Every structure is written in C-alpha cells, then in structure tokens.
Amino acid sequence: MATATNDAQLSPPTRRYSASKRLLPYLLSLPALLVCIGILIPFFTAVFYSLQRFRLSQPWNRSMNWGENYLNFLSDPDFWNTLQISLTYAFLTVGLELLLGLAIALLLQKPTRLNNFVSIMLLMPLMTAPALAALMWKLMTNPNFGILSYFATVIGFDDMRWGASPDTALFTVILVDIWVYTPFMMILLLAGLRSLPKQPFEAAALDGVPKIQQFWRITLPMLTPYILTASLFRLLDSIQQFDIIYALTQGGPGDKLMVFQVEAYLNFFQSTNVGRSAALLMILWALTFFLSNIFIKNWLRLRERARGEV
Amino acid sequence: MYEKEKGLVDAFLRGQMDRRSLIRGLGALGVSAATAGVLVNSAATRALAADFDWKKHSGKSLKLLLNKHPYTDAMIANLDNFKELSGMDVEYDVFPEDVYFDKVTAALSSRSSEYDAFMTGAYMTWTYGPAGWVVDHNEWIQDESKTNPNYNWGDMLEGVRKSCAWNGRPGGELGSDDAMQWCIPWGYEQNNLSYNADMLEKAGVGVPTNMDELLEAAAKVQAANDGIYGIGVRGSRSWATIHPGFLSAYANLGENDLTVSSDGKLAAAMNTDVSKDFHAKWVKMIQDSGASDWSTHTWYQVGTDLGAGKSAMIYDADILGYFMNGGENAMAGKLAYAPFAAKGGDPTPNIWIWSLAMSKFSKDLDATWNFMQWASGPEHGLFGASQMDFVNPVRSSVWADDGFRQRLADSYPGYVEMHDVSAPGASIKFTAQPLFFDLTTEWAASLQKMVSKEVPIDEGLDQLADSVNRQLKDAGLG
C-alpha cells in the first residue's frame, strides 16, 4: 500500500521529466531553426517576386506571371550576354588567381621571417574594399595623369583606354580583381602547403625524385583539397562580382561587362523592375548552387580517396 | 542691431532701396558686405513672420534626406533662421550622389516614414509619382491657410515649374492643366557651352553657334593646343549621359525620344533620318575630339577636366562651368559661357532640376510643407544665390536682383547673358513616362557601341528603336 502510494506520488514528475527530455532536442535546435527561417524568408520572398510582373513605378500592373520572367530570358540576348560574361569573368579570374596564388605560396613556403613578413604585406590588397580598389585603379588608368597609362605609353601602347574601351574593359576589371583577391588564394594555399606531412617529401628526396616530379606527384595531389576549397570560395564570390565592375565601368562600354549583379542592380534600383531583378538573382543562385555542388562533390571524393575509402 | 542699420535694412525690405545701395549704406556705417548679407537675411526672416503664422507647427520635428550639393550647403547655412522662424526642429541625412538615389528608392519603396522630405530630380518623380510615393504639392500650394501669401508660386520660371508637373499619363504633356505638381523646383541646370577662352583664341576659333561649327571648333582647338581634347560631354553607361548636351542638341533639331499616338500609345522615335544624321555627327565629335576615356565620363570628369585645363570646352550643365571658374581650379577665371543651339538661333536646352518633394509617408505633411515653402521661397533663394553658390536659382525675382546679377557679372562674365538668352526655351524635352531610366540607359549603351564602332549608327539606332518598342509594349505603354 505504502509502495503503491509512493509510486503514484513519483509518477507525475517522471512523466514531466520524460516530456522535457523529449522536448529538449527541439528546444536546443530552436535558435538554429529561427536563424534558418530568418534566412529563408528573404529567399522565398525573392522567389515570390521573381514569379511576378512587378515594377515599382507601375503598381497597378502588379500580378503573378509565374514563370514568364524566366521564359523571357530564353529569347533575351541581353540575358545570354550576361550569362556568358559572368561565367567568363568568374573562370578567368579564379583560374589566374589560382595560378598566381599557388606560385606565390610556393615561393613563400619556407617559414622564414622574411617570407612571413612578405606574406603579411601581400595581404594588404585584400584588406582594401573592392570598390575603393576599383576607384584607385580608375585613377591609375586615367589617360591624363594615371601612372599605368604612363607606363603603357612608355612600352608603346599609346592609346591604351583600359576600362573605357570594349577591347580592354574585361582585361582591366580582371586585373583589378586579381590585384585584390590573389592574396586570398595565396594565404589559403600557403596554409595548405605548410601543413602537408613531411615524410612523403623526405622519402622522395631519398629516392632522388626531382623537385618538379615531387611537385606534380606529391605536392599537387595532396594540395588539391585546399585548391578546391579556395577555388570554390573565389568562384562563388567572383560570379557575384559587382563593386569592381560597377565602380569602374557601370557595366559598359555598351553591354561588355553586364554581369548578373550589375544587371540585377540596375533593374531594381534604376528601372524599379523588381520581378526581372529577382528572377535574375534566382538564376544566379541556381548557377552558384550548381557550381558549388560540383566542387563539393569533387572535394568529398578526393577526401575519401585520401582516406583510402575508394 | 542699431537703429540706423535697422532702418536701412527695413527700407530695403520695403523695396525703397536696392541691394547695392543697402550694402553701400551699411558699409558707410562700418558693416562689411558679408555681415550685411547676414543682417538682411535675418531681417528678411523676421519680415516673413509678419504675414504668415510660421509658428503653427512649433515644437514639431522633421527629417530630410539630402544629396551632397552646394544647394544643400546653402540650405544648411540658413537653416537656423527657419528654426527660429517656425520653432520647428529639422534633422537631415546627407549622402553623396553615387548612393543618394538608391537611398531614396529604398526609403520610399519600403514606405518608410523616417524622412519627411527629400531632394529629387524631376525625372525621378516619373517613377515616384505613379508609384504613390510622393504627394501632389498643388494641394498645399493652392491652400491659402497653409501657404505664405508672399510665397509667390508664379515667380518660379515657367519652363522649370511646368517641368516638375505631370498628369501621370505616359506621354502626357508636362505642366498641363490637369498635371500634378510632383516636386517643387529648387535649383536647375541649363545645358550650354562653357569654354576656355584662351584655348579657343589660340586656335583662332570663334564660339560655335551650331552643330557643324561645334564639330569643327572642337577639332581645331584640339589640334592647336597640346595635351588637351576638344570637347567634354558625358559618356558613362547611364541615363545621365543622354539628358545634358546630347538631348539639348537633339531636341533643338526638332527630334523626339518617343512619339505619342492619338490613342496614347508610345513608340520609339530615335531612328528617324534626322536623328541618324545627328547621331553620326555626335559620334564623330567624340571620336575626333572627345576624351579618350569618354565612356567612363560622368558630370564629374566632364567638369574637372575643364577646370584642370584638359579640355577646351564642354557642352553640359552650365553650373559646371560656373564652379570650375572659381576656387582652386587651374583654369579659374579663364572660362567663358555661351548659349548653344544645334541648328542655330534660339537655344532650347534640356534641363536638370534639383527639386524638393514631400514623401507620402511623412508623419506630418502640413508641418513638412512649412519647411518646403521656406526652402523654396524667394527669401532663401536670394540668400543662397547672393551669399552662397545656389546657382541656378529657379525664381525670376532672384534673377532680377541687381546684387546677384552684378556678382555673377563680376566673377563669371557672360553667365547671366547666357542664362537670360536660354531661359525662355529651357525645359525638360523628354517624353514623361515611367520607363525613362530603362530607355535612356539603353540609349547611352547604344551610343557607347556606336562610338567604339561595335555597331554602325544606322543599325544601332534601328536596334535601339526595336528594343525600346518591345519594352514599351511589355510594359503596356506601346
């Protein structure tokens, strides 16, 4: 009797305890869920807008047009130009920055005082806001007083028009991008190089493997996960480039540099065409998602291979 | 203030004495010209209070969204007088022009009540008005209980005032009887020639009076002066490339950007024969005598190159010539001005109007109007024009003021004459419609392609017209 009474008295707290225990994981994940919702609300709002005919200057015309904004892109030469120039810009900048960053990282691989000092100095451009860097380059390429224009004249390019000419505009903005972002590649790859295990290199040296063979057969394969990570970060950033291009040329001359972000920005802020601007950004998101998936799958495959799981 | 000084200022305000006599009189009493200006302005503020209950909204607070500009500087310099007059408090945010209009669009499109009034261009109200973001200011201008009897709306230059009024119908005539006053003109720019007199003289070139002469003069002056280019015009991939000299010349030839059919439908009109001929000349002028980095030139580069002696003349906003003729500029004191008409005869410049507008989302529109009518009133206009760099004023009474005219004549010879000749024909020449920024930006991009020979002029204009017509149709306007 006494036991039964005790059981009865004990059972409600036990139930409360088990209920709390069941709720605990949900409570713990609630902040993450709220942050996730906070991130997804603007995203789905943009998806919603992209399915609308929506111009701020013509509120009476606002209506759902479902996929019409996207379908219009198929027959719109401006859109294909934007896609082409965005991809060209992204792959050229990432490729060139990777080569330069790797070369510099190899030169600075040995952790001497001088190399450490130089690597810190080389990070300076990365600390400059890209829009400011673009304005600085705009001054340096000014035909009247720009130092780069002067050097161009000295080496025989008398009529070098940099960002003002359709022939050299892409080259100019890529040059600025390389100046700003190569240090990012360099620092990631340098960290990778310095963390590589020494044994394979010592063994190769004992076997008399030439340095160049060591690079191709040992360094590069072991560095590939770092290369993929650095390239992924840069690719995601580069395909969404805005500030350098807008500050230097506003997307011109003509339509030469109308990349996604510039096109979407002008559509929203200048034309107040919210529907088209949102649809462009959705395409950019899909493109970014697709490219990052390729990179991440390759990165995982390489990691599994490194662990001997494949 | 001492009685003698007070008596002189009061006599001036009653119209019994002109400004020069007043300053001379005050000078005799030991008051400097600068102090005299402040005294007059302060007394004018007191006089304002005599005819209208400025204190009606005393204790209230306003917030303004402003662009960094000499007009803003002039207003801020005089703001304490408004605060004293009205008992209101005024706060403001000032942004550089690069980001200013984005800030306005963001504030208005989000229906924010943070700002009660803001600076705008008339073209912007073709977006803001139909979107329901700004009020029709006629409601306040025409309400005698809310507007100072001395506000004198009719004193605003007619072409400027009408250019800020539109009935909201795409293609509707600016300033028509049924137009809504979307903004209040504050200061404006005509597009004419500002030139370096020494350079033209060295080349033995007279001031050009039509498009052919302009091409010839630009080429000759460039050839005769080392290290300069002949003519500065804007070229960036922006609507702002089209509205200054380019459209002024284009419109002077009788050409339109769009045509409006009897049923109100719009259609592109930039590929007519006359237009193609004009574009060919404009493109040749830039190729032969323009800046080598023309396609990146905004108003800033156009102005500073003239001030630095890198260009011989500009066909752009007259106030660029004004500002570059003073201060630390290398060419200060060497610039001259001339009205310009592409076909010769009377100039008909397209204009840019810095205006003030009340946000529909303002917390207190009546109180905001108190500020608006003061800031756009004749007293502040005269203060800004005579004491600060508030050029070009939009009021006839300010242009008629002897002191202001003399100041311009002394430091900027030829400026007043240029203004007087051009003012009667000065107005916005574009067709008012909500796709203004889309179409003019595309026009600028086409111009860039023609100048860089990416596309022949005929073909480029036909492609532009096709694209414009497609966009108008998509938007239900064509």
The CA distance from B268 to the nearest CA of chain A, in Å, is 18
State how far residue B14 is from chain A, nearest Cα, in angstroms.
47
Put simply, the answer to whether A143 touches B445 (Cβ < 8 Å) is no
User: Do B320 and B416 fall within a single domain?
Assistant: no
Using a CB–CB cutoff of 8 Å, tell me whether A273 touches chain B.
yes
Chain A partners of B130 at a C-beta cutoff of 8 Å? 57-59
Residue A253 and residue B237: Cβ atoms within 8 Å? yes
- Domain count within chain A: 1
Whole-angstrom distance, CA of residue B163 vs CA of residue B174: 6
Nearest to A165 among B236, B237, B452 (CB): B452
**DSSP state, residue B172:** P
Mean pLDDT per 10-residue section of chain A, whose length is 310 residues = 49 67 88 92 95 89 92 92 96 97 96 93 91 92 90 90 94 96 96 93 93 93 92 94 94 94 94 94 95 89 72
CA distance B118 to B357: 6
Query: CB distance from B125 to chain A under 8 Å?
Result: no
Cα distances from B313 to residues A214, B49, B217, B414, B446, in angstroms, run 64, 46, 10, 15, 24
- Shared-domain flag, residues B400 and B439: no
Phi, psi of B268 (to 5 degrees): -65, 140
Say if residue B163 is in the same domain as residue B102.
yes
Of the candidates A166, A251, A273, the beta carbon closest to that of B452 is on A166
**Do B445 and A252 make contact, defined as CB atoms within 8 angstroms?**
yes
> Could you count the other beta carbons within 10 Å of the beta carbon of residue B96?
10
Give pLDDT, residue B37: 63
Rounded Cα gap, residues A103 and A124, in angstroms: 18
CATH code of residue A254: 1.10.3720.10
B169 & B21 share domain: yes
Crossing angle of helices B273-289 and B245-252, in 10° steps, is 140
Task: Say yes or no for a CB contact (<8 Å) between B237 and A161.
Answer: no
Query: Is residue B131 less than 8 Å (CB to CB) from chain A?
Result: yes
Question: Is there a contact between B65 and B35 (Cβ–Cβ < 8 Å)?
Answer: no
User: Are residues B437 and A270, on separate chains, in Cβ contact within 8 Å?
Assistant: yes
**Contact state of A250 with B238 under an 8 Å Cβ cutoff:** yes
- Tell me, yes or no, if A260 comes closer than 8 A to chain B by beta carbon: no
A59–B101 C-beta distance less than 8 A: no
Contacts of B454 in chain A (CB under 8 A): 166, 254
Domain ranges, residue B32: 3-189+353-425
Count of domains for chain B: 2
Say yes or no for a CB contact (<8 Å) between A58 and B434: yes
Task: Give CA–CA dist B279/A241, Å, rounded.
Answer: 33
Residue A1 domain flag: no
Q: Determine the pLDDT at residue B34.
A: 59
What's the CATH code of the domain at B133? Answer: 3.40.190.10
Per CB-CB distance under 8 Å, the chain B contacts of A161 are 292-293
Q: Residues of A numbered 45-74 whose beta carbons fall under 8 angstroms of chain B's beta carbons: which are they?
A: 55-59, 61
A248 touches chain B (CB under 8 A): yes
Which pLDDT value is given to residue B369? 98
Number of Cβ within a 10 Å radius of residue B388: 17
Rounded CA-CA distance A149/A139 in Å is 10
Specify whether B306 is located in the same domain as B387: no
Answer whether the bond into residue A6 is a cis peptide, omega within 30°: no
Q: Nearest CA to CA, how far is B338 from chain A (Å)?
A: 27
Best CA proximity match to B89, nearest among B382, B377, B368:
B368
At residue A1, the pLDDT reads 42
* Chain A residues inside the 8 Å CB shell of B445: 252, 254-255
Quick one: which of B31, B117, B189 has its CA closest to B375? B117
The residues, any chain, with a CB within 8 Å of residue B150's CB and separated by 6 or more, are B48, B51, B52, B377, B378
- Chain B contact for A158 (CB, 8 A cutoff): no
Q: Evaluate whether A53 touches A61 at the Cβ level (below 8 Å).
A: yes
CA angle, B393 as apex, B189 and B5 as ends, to 5°?
A: 155
Do B37 and B176 sit in the same domain of this protein? yes
- Residues from chain B that touch A253, judged by Cβ atoms under 8 A, are 237, 295, 448-449, 452
Residue-level pLDDT at A295 = 87
Strands (E), A169-255: none
Q: Which candidate, B317, B342, B163, B167, places its Cα nearest to that of B240?
A: B317
What is d(CA A201, CA B234) in angstroms, rounded to the nearest whole number?
A: 60
Q: Is residue A226 part of a domain?
A: yes
The DSSP secondary structure of A57-111, one letter per residue, reads: T-GGG-EE-TTHHHHHHHT-HHHHHHHHHHHHHHHHHHHHHHHHHHHHHHHT-S-
User: Do B288 and B437 lie in a common domain?
Assistant: yes
Nearest residue of B to residue A250, measured between CA atoms:
B237
Closest listed residue to residue B335, CA positions, set B305, B355, B375: B305
Residue A43, in any domain of the structure: no
Nearest Cα of chain A lies from the Cα of B212 at a distance, in angstroms, of: 26
Taking the C-alpha atoms of residue B428 and residue B359, their distance in angstroms, rounded to an integer, is 23
| A28 inside domain | no
Q: Report, in angstroms and rounded to the nearest whole number, the Rg of chain B calculated over CA atoms.
A: 23
Q: How high is the mean pLDDT in each 10-residue block of chain B (478 residues)?
A: 64 61 68 64 65 93 96 95 96 94 93 97 95 96 95 96 96 96 97 97 96 98 96 96 98 97 95 97 98 94 96 97 94 96 96 98 97 96 93 96 94 95 97 95 96 96 96 90
Q: Which of B387, B402, B425 is the last residue of a domain?
A: B425
For residues B210-234, one letter each, b for 16 or more C-beta atoms within 10 angstroms of the residue's C-beta and e for the rest, the string is bbeebbbbbbbbbebbeebbbbbbb
Residues of B in contact with A251 (CB under 8 A): 237
Q: Please report the pLDDT score of residue A2 as a whole number.
A: 45
What's the CA gap between A119 and B342, in Å, rounded? 59
Q: Which residues of chain B have a CB within 8 Å of the CB of A163?
A: 293, 296
pTM of the complete model: 0.88
B95 at the A interface (CB within 8 A)?
Answer: no
Chain A residues inside the 8 Å CB shell of B452? 165-166, 253-254
Q: In the listed set B425, B444, B464, which residue is the last one of a domain according to the structure?
A: B425
Cβ <8 Å between A254 and B449: yes
Judge whether B285 and B173 are in contact, CB under 8 Å: no
CB A246 within 8 A of CB A169: no
* Same-domain pairing of B259 and B336: yes
B279 & B377 share domain: no
Same domain, B67 and B107: yes
- Give residues 429 to 448 of B whose Cβ lies within 8 Å of A: 434-435, 437-438, 441, 445-446, 448
Whether residue B127 lies within 8 A of chain A, CB to CB, comes out as yes
The span from the CA of B193 to the CA of B318, in Å, is 7
- Rounded Cα distance, A246 and A131, in Å: 8
Interface test with B, best of A140, A271, A277 (most B CBs within 10 A): A271
For chains A and B, CB pairs below 8 A equal 94
| Calpha distance A186→A190 (Å, rounded) | 6
Q: By CA distance, what is B102's nearest residue in A? A: A269
The shortest C-alpha distance from A67 to chain B (Å) reads 15
Nearest-by-CA chain A residue for B434 = A57
Cα B70 to its chain centre, rounded Å, is 12
Angle at B89 between CA B109 and CA B76, to 5 degrees: 80
Site of tokens 């590939």? A224
User: A55 and B434: CB-CB below 8 Å?
Assistant: yes
Cis peptide bond prior to A253, omega within 30° of 0? yes
Verify that B339 and B453 share a domain, yes or no: yes
Cβ neighbourhood burial of B265 (10 Å; 0-12, 13-18, 19+): middle
Task: For this complex, say whether ipTM is above 0.85.
Answer: no
B266 and B367, same domain (yes or no): no
The whole domain housing A143 covers 64-306
Query: What pLDDT is attached to residue B38?
Result: 63
